[in-house]
Chains A and B, each alone.
Chain A
Amino acid sequence: MKSSALALLMAYRLALPGYHYEFPRDHFNHPEFQTEWWYYTGNLRAADGHRFGFELTFFRHGVSQDPAATIWDVNDAWLAHLALSDIDGQRFRHAERLNRQAAGLAGADLAEGRVWNGNWSARITANAHELTAIDAAFRIHLTLTPQKPPVIHGANGVSQKAAGEGRASHYISITRLAAAGAITIEGRAYKVEGLAWMDHEFFTHQLAPEQTGWDWFSLQFEDNSELMLFRLRHKDGSSDPFSAGTYIDAEGRARRLTRDDFTLQLGATWTSPETQARYPIEWRIEVPSLGLDAQLGTRLREQELAKYWEGAIELTGRKQGRPIRGSGYLEMTGYAGPVRIGD
């Protein structure tokens, strides 16, 4: 069992330094890597001031590399999550779907310029990412306009997650997209505007066995700068040395942050009635090199989705001695059991 799993793994390409990025090609599918995901998150506000967080994510996981004998054979399983955090309505709605590629049920295609899973899709052009997702209770339709070029995280094209060759991912972000469009909840439509963030990551195996989860932050400041941080956790709760981050300044220049560049302090927690997991939903982040000291929190505690918490957050604090505000998304995994990518 182990050896065959290993053999399977060996057939996929590893995320190694020196990868040459090219757009728009690298916005789309990389089937030679076992796992790939596209994350769209953002904070929106309706004309009447009603606040929302949204998330639309597409996952691809390689199941088999055998040549397909029938149209229904599953080489890649395509998972997608859709979530809408109704901040002012204090309601978290989400949906999930899993499909096979068969005859175009799901995929990510450069020629078509889209990433999709059934009728959830992201159409990607040079100027915009158009998101559409439909669920029985709600739907979103948003046009996201990139304000900055894509950022490649880590060093030399790889975001290293653990010690060892290939324990890394190719990690691309567009850290600031202007969002505009419509949200419909139970038949009621809201015209919305706001800010969005896109992550796109592909890899074959990145975490080490002792790494049981992570906390990931995407923060967008009023001053047009952004910060991405992730903390890889061990079973005992300690931070892994490969925890890291990236700061993008207002001009779009990226600066790499390592474990030693930031400190994270946990605040209040929220226990999920569903999974009994205890998620820290208040944090204090300090990045001395940026002069940043910020308090993070959420107005909607219940933003758990499947076995992880991912939700809209707000921050207040000081940056370079001046008060600053911002918003973003926080993802916490591994609190409801260790993470296994590709389930």
Chain B
Amino acid sequence: MPRLILFHRLILRPLRREPARTLLTVAAVALGVAVVLAIELAGSAAAGSFRSSMETLAGAADYEVTTAGGIPAGVLTRLALLQEPLKLDPRIEDYAVIADRRRTVPFLGVDLLAHRPPEGPSDSASFSRQDSIWTGADLGYRTGDRVRLLINDHANEYTVRGVLGERSGEAIVMDLAPATRILGRAGRLDRILITGPAPLDLLQRAAGPGITVAAYGSRTAENRRMLAAFRWNLRVLSYIALVVGAFLIYNTISVSVVRRRAEIGIVRALGAPRPAILAAFLGEAAALGLAGGLAGILLGRAMAQGAVGLVAATVGSLYVSSTPAPIELTLATSLLGVALGVAVSVISALAPAWEAAQVPPVEAMSRGRRDHQVRVHSLRDLAFAAVLALAAWIASRQPAIDGKPLYGYLAAVTLIAASALAIPALISGLTIAGAAPLGRLFGAEALLAVRSLAGSMRRTAVLVGALSTAIAMMAAVGIMVGSFRQTVLLWMQDRLQADLYLRPASPAGADRHPTLAPEVADRIEALPEIAAVDRFRAYEITYQGMPATLGAGDARIVARYGARPFLSGANPRSIFAAMPGRDNVIVSEPFANKHHVRAGDTIGIALAGRPVRLNILDVYYDYSNERGYIIMDRSTLLKYLPDPAVSNLAVYLKPAASLESGRAAVERAVAGRKVVVLTNRSLREEAIAIFDRTFSITYALEAVAVFVAIMGVAGALLALVIDRRREFGLLRFLGGATAQLRRVILFEAALLGLLANVAGLILGVLLSLLLIYVINKQSFGWTIQFHWPIAVLLGAITLVYAATVIAAIYPARIAAKLNPIEVVHEE
């Protein structure tokens, strides 16, 4: 009970007395918790509980059979003849776009003869008709509806013959035979689901070498594994706002302690033990954390709704097609949010609360010593900072652990800590050097602002630390993304040499490669305007348990027209010359990094059930997908997978032909088919748009962190005004005008912003080097060339700067409104 009273008097009353500041602190924690929670929820919905869109209608299968390029029908037969009671579910898996809904849904070819749909005509003929489809329950169609579907490069009307049962999702189902015709498949299957008891090795023997038989869900597990790293990075990013929030809690509690030293002294003199004081201030932090955590849950749930689309877009363009699950805010997640808020608050408050507990009872006697100065050993801290920076450098040289750049993140955290320790020295240096000239330049207000910041060094250091950390993160990610973007732009300039690009209208994805009919390419090649057509085909494959993409183009054409920079710097022509007809491949940099292979290595993959050994000629720079590419010549691909359909075409015009006439001719040649014809320029623009979309979640997270920091600045300045109210009153006695008082606060905000920007930019550049050369390289495996995104950086910094100063307007008004007589005479 006495403790509660102590807590009430020492903590709760002051909190209530300054509702604006209390609210700001709670809001900062709430935002931090909300961002973490939102990313957790959105990540879980879009990537964590990953279920490929293709998992619909899979039932309770025990095994799944897959292979690159499709499973020959004979495998199904061999499995069917096994002397085991197995249920086999052969499937062709692709995507269709529902034209009027502009929605991409799984399009499955299944054996409707063996596994009859629950509804629809019962005669054997109608289910195999070309226009018969069965639709998933979630699509909301009724039997007899007509649906226009865009599949690969054609759009047709289909008739809904029946609606599938529960858990059929949004799938559209058709019999194997018409699906094979519509998708232009060569009769191979994408997957066979097996239900029933049978030893795996028996199934593997029956399926034959080069066919993957695995427990059902292995592919989902693979995808989850791939997405785990992505989620991990996203999660780390989401904690930035919380870290910034922690700085602010630290600040809030520090201010409480400093202000109430005399009260603490009195309470101690009256017999309160140290732990009671410690508990009271930790209690304050816990209360703020609890309130912030609770508010954060609601805010996080709301933010997750917005984030899930962004996360899903990133997952879709970088990794794998998936359908976001509904967002589920569980009790466990909610508790996690609250616990996070409380834990971060209490941990941040440990140091100031400890300090409070150390206040000796005699402090009660020394009334009037309001501005208790805590000595800041800025030089000693600077030395610590140097040690930490060295540690960060060493950590940055370490390899990834389990595909995760743990050391990279350690280096980043260490660097942030080093920066926090170096900030007092920076402030001292700048204020000592800057006070007099600033005073001369801007008058008393500037002098007062500089001096007061330097005078309350610890508070200033925390504020600058929080804001500069947020700015640094923003700058680092900005530089990284900007560098990445510039790298991609330059790379596209090298890589995209063709005049026109064609691809089916059905949307492609990292794991989704709709096809064009081969005759499209033939027809275009025959046009008089055309110099060459590069036919590119992509297949989704698995290499060593990780998804990858197998691609094939015409090496001769690439050698003649295109340029593909190689890591080794070797002459592309000689490499491309060695590809046609041979089992020679080149692999993309992410593939090489992920699987630790390099030029000269041999890799084994299975193509249509045949094991093939491929020699890696070289590794090329690639930024188009994170899964990694194996590229072979088209002749090699057709040797193993004689399916002439293409995923896209690169068309080179004759020098004499104009782009307009060439494009018109190509469009005439593909008339009647759903083919997208892009010029070189529009393809690049589209690619960069996808790039920007991919990073929008990153930007959003940065923005929240900066926002939290600015809220912290506002709250801290408010505290500052209240603590220095006597000083402001005095200024009025000394002939200061109200406008001058306001300017002092604005100057302080401006200086805080300046210091934070300087510190933040320095730290940000260092962090961006970590991001570019360590974290990104280790997580995704691509080499990014460093570029300064000057405009973006300047814009962002100006914005942050302006926001910091704007955040000071309210505290400045409070300062101007104080009654000088009251505040000067109150003791």
Contact = CB atoms under 8 A, between A and B. Distances in A.
Per the CB under 8 Å rule, do A and B touch in the complex? Answer: yes
B contact face: mostly helix, strand, loop, or mixed: loop
A71 B491 CA distance: 43
Nearest to A141: B83
A70 B187 contact: yes
A99 B114 contact: yes
B77 A74 contact: no
24 contacts: A63-B125, A63-B128, A69-B177, A70-B181, A71-B73, A71-B187, A72-B109, A72-B176, A72-B177, A74-B113, A74-B124, A97-B114, A98-B116, A99-B80, A99-B113, A99-B114, A100-B177, A102-B77, A103-B74, A103-B76, A105-B76, A105-B80, A119-B81, A342-B124
A274 interface: no
Interface in B104-134: 109, 111, 113-114, 116, 122-125, 128
A251 interface: no
B180 A134 contact: no
B120 to A, nearest CB: 14
A300 B73 CA distance: 42
Contacts of B77: 102-105
A343 B122 CA distance: 7
A134 B125 contact: no
B24 to A, nearest CB: 66
A72 B116 CA distance: 15
Given A99-B114, A100-B113, A343-B123, A119 B80 contact: yes
B73 to A, nearest CB: 4
A104 B187 CA distance: 14
A119 B114 CA distance: 14
A61 B116 CA distance: 16
Interface in B511-529: none
B94 to A, nearest CB: 15
A118 B80 contact: yes
A64 interface: yes
Contacts of A331: none
A88 interface: no
Contacts of A73: 128, 177
Contacts of B109: 72
B181 A69 contact: yes
Given A103-B76, A132-B83, A72 B124 contact: no
B60 to A, nearest CB: 13
Interface string A188-221: 0000000000000000000000000000000000
Nearest to A97: B114
Contact of A74 (B80, B177, B185, B196): B177
A79 B177 CA distance: 18
Contacts of A61: 124
A56 to B, nearest CB: 15
B633 interface: no
Interface string A90-122: 000000011110111100000000001011000
A312 interface: no
Interface residues of B, number: 29
From A104, A116, A135, A342, name the one whose CB has the most chain B CB atoms within 10 angstroms.
A104
B81 A98 contact: no
Given A77-B124, A97-B114, A104-B74, 13 more contacts: A64-B125, A70-B185, A71-B180, A72-B177, A74-B128, A98-B114, A99-B114, A100-B177, A105-B76, A119-B82, A135-B85, A136-B196, A139-B85
Size class of the A contact interface (CB-based, 8 Å): 20 to 34
A91 B116 CA distance: 27
Interface string B20-46: 000000000000000000000000000
A187 B72 CA distance: 33
A13 B196 CA distance: 41
Contacts of A102: 73, 76-77, 176
Contact of B175 (A72, A97, A136): A72
A136 B175 CA distance: 25
Nearest to A136: B85
Nearest to B73: A103
A174 to B, nearest CB: 25
Contacts of A343: 122-124
Contact of A119 (B76, B83, B175): B83
A70 B90 CA distance: 15
A143 B821 CA distance: 115
A280 B176 CA distance: 42
B138 interface: no
A342 B122 CA distance: 11
Contacts of A72: 73, 109, 175-177, 180, 187
A8 B213 CA distance: 42
Contacts of B81: 104, 116, 118-119
A134 B122 contact: no
Nearest to B109: A72
Nearest to A343: B122
B82 to A, nearest CB: 6
Contacts of B145: none
Sort A-B residue pairs by CB-CB distance and give the 9 closest, nearest first: A103-B73, A72-B176, A72-B177, A71-B187, A136-B85, A70-B180, A118-B80, A73-B177, A77-B124
Interface in B34-66: none
Given A64-B125, A74-B113, A74-B124, A119 B176 contact: no
B84 interface: yes
Contacts of B181: 69-70
